[in-house]
Structure 1
Amino acid sequence: MKTLTLLRHAKSGWDDTVARDFDRPLNGKGKRAAEAVGKHWRSLGLVFDHVVASPAVRVGETIAHLQTGYGTDLAPVVDRRIYLASAMTLLDVIHGLPESADRVLMVGHNPGLEDLVLMLVPDDTADDGLRDTVEEKFPTASTAEMTFDGAWADVAANGATLTRFIRPRDLDPALGPDQD
């Protein structure tokens, strides 16, 4: 069985005067959320044998703050295709994952990550409403975990089971929307 964990980058700073979207850094709330998610992952005992990430500044900063809470270096492989990718492009990345990796973390952006979950997890799944929650919104610094039978190259629409969806506000209400 393969496990794919998706992490949307933490909240970035729109007030920063960077010339390109690619260069936007995290804001204070984003830094706190990434660290809280890392601490939560550590408490759950989550482990990854392969990490792939967008090269965007906010993704790199998310990983750095996540590692502070998680307590382990994730050593991501940067893949330019993940930056602002569609669900189909992300699926191409998944198809190329090393078969030796059973637990993969992908760190990227919306709407691609949300669309990917909705494409891979069947509508009529019995997942205690997790898919519906993803469909409402996949907030920054949220985690979605899916499992698959078979090889990465065989991952297809409606072929996943959504096993976990964690939003920062589930860990600390102060990390929810409209909180600074």
Structure 2
Amino acid sequence: MTKRLIVLRHAQAEPLTDGSDHERSLTPEGRDQARAAGAALASDGVVPDHVACSTALRARQTFELVAQALPHSPSADYERDLYGADVSTALELITRTDPEVETLLVVGHNPTMAQLVAAFMPDEPLDSFPTAGLAVIDLEVEWLYAAPGTGAVRLLT
């Protein structure tokens, strides 16, 4: 294995009523989901050393709760481009990751996170990728060359 990519869909958020979709907060259940995702990563020994997180409040809150369960806090970049990104944009962001990073966690939104995971699973259907869904992709290449077909997926939740 050369690099490890963790894909995390943000946890359950409050429904959009008034205000901005970008500022929707996690529900109490979403907070529990995020904590469980962090515990799953920690118990599996998959700990990111860097995070690329959407700037949306629900994604930031998800990452903060996940990080509480980790043995150390990874460095993080908050990426506006992950909010509303398509798979190509997410992949471009991944390919720009510092080569020193061994394990990258990407925290974003559906449908992009599900489509990103599915792109690495061409022979298997991805039936669903729920809120706080986690996938670990063991890449066979450096970040610069990350693309569908360059890694094996393991779903954690």
User: With structure 1 as the length reference, what TM-score do the two structures score?
Assistant: 0.80
**Deviation, structure 1 residue 156:** 2.1
Q: Which residue type is aligned with residue 93 of structure 2?
A: V
Name 2:156's counterpart in structure 1: 166
Matches within 5 A, 1:39-50: 39-50=39-50
Q: Which has the larger radius of gyration?
A: 1
1:18–1:24: 8 Å Cα contact kept in structure 2? no
Matches within 5 A, 1:45-124: 45-70=45-70, 72-123=72-123
Name 2:12's counterpart in structure 1: 11
Following the alignment from structure 1 to structure 2, what is the Cα–Cα distance between the partners of residues 160 and 70? 24
Matches within 5 A, 1:128-143: 131-132=124-125, 135-143=126-134
Name 2:142's counterpart in structure 1: 151
Name 1:27's counterpart in structure 2: 27
Following the alignment from structure 1 to structure 2, what is the Cα–Cα distance between the partners of residues 31 and 18? 21
RMSD, aligned CA = 1.6
User: With structure 2 as the length reference, what TM-score do the two structures score?
Assistant: 0.91
Following the alignment from structure 1 to structure 2, what is the Cα–Cα distance between the partners of residues 110 and 51? 18
Following the alignment from structure 1 to structure 2, what is the Cα–Cα distance between the partners of residues 74 and 101? 10
**Shift in CA distance, 71/29, structure 1 to aligned 2, threshold 3 Å:** farther
Name 1:127's counterpart in structure 2: none
Q: Which runs of 5+ in 2 are unaligned?
A: none
- Which of structures 1 and 2 has the larger relative contact order (alpha carbons within 8 angstroms, sep 6+)? 2
Following the alignment from structure 1 to structure 2, what is the Cα–Cα distance between the partners of residues 146 and 109? 17
**Shift in CA distance, 114/94, structure 1 to aligned 2, threshold 3 Å:** same
SS of the equivalent of 1:76 reads strand
1:122–1:160: 8 Å Cα contact kept in structure 2? no
User: Which 10-residue stretch deviates more, 82-91 or 62-71?
Assistant: 62-71
Following the alignment from structure 1 to structure 2, what is the Cα–Cα distance between the partners of residues 79 and 138? 21
Q: Which runs of 5+ in 1 are unaligned?
A: 124-130, 168-180
2:40–2:156: 8 Å Cα contact kept in structure 1? no
Following the alignment from structure 2 to structure 1, what is the Cα–Cα distance between the partners of residues 61 and 155? 22
SS of the equivalent of 1:98 reads coil
Structure holding more helix per residue: 1
**Shift in CA distance, 55/65, structure 1 to aligned 2, threshold 3 Å:** same
- Between the two proteins, what is the percent identity of the paired residues? 31
Following the alignment from structure 1 to structure 2, what is the Cα–Cα distance between the partners of residues 23 and 149? 37
**Shift in CA distance, 49/65, structure 1 to aligned 2, threshold 3 Å:** closer
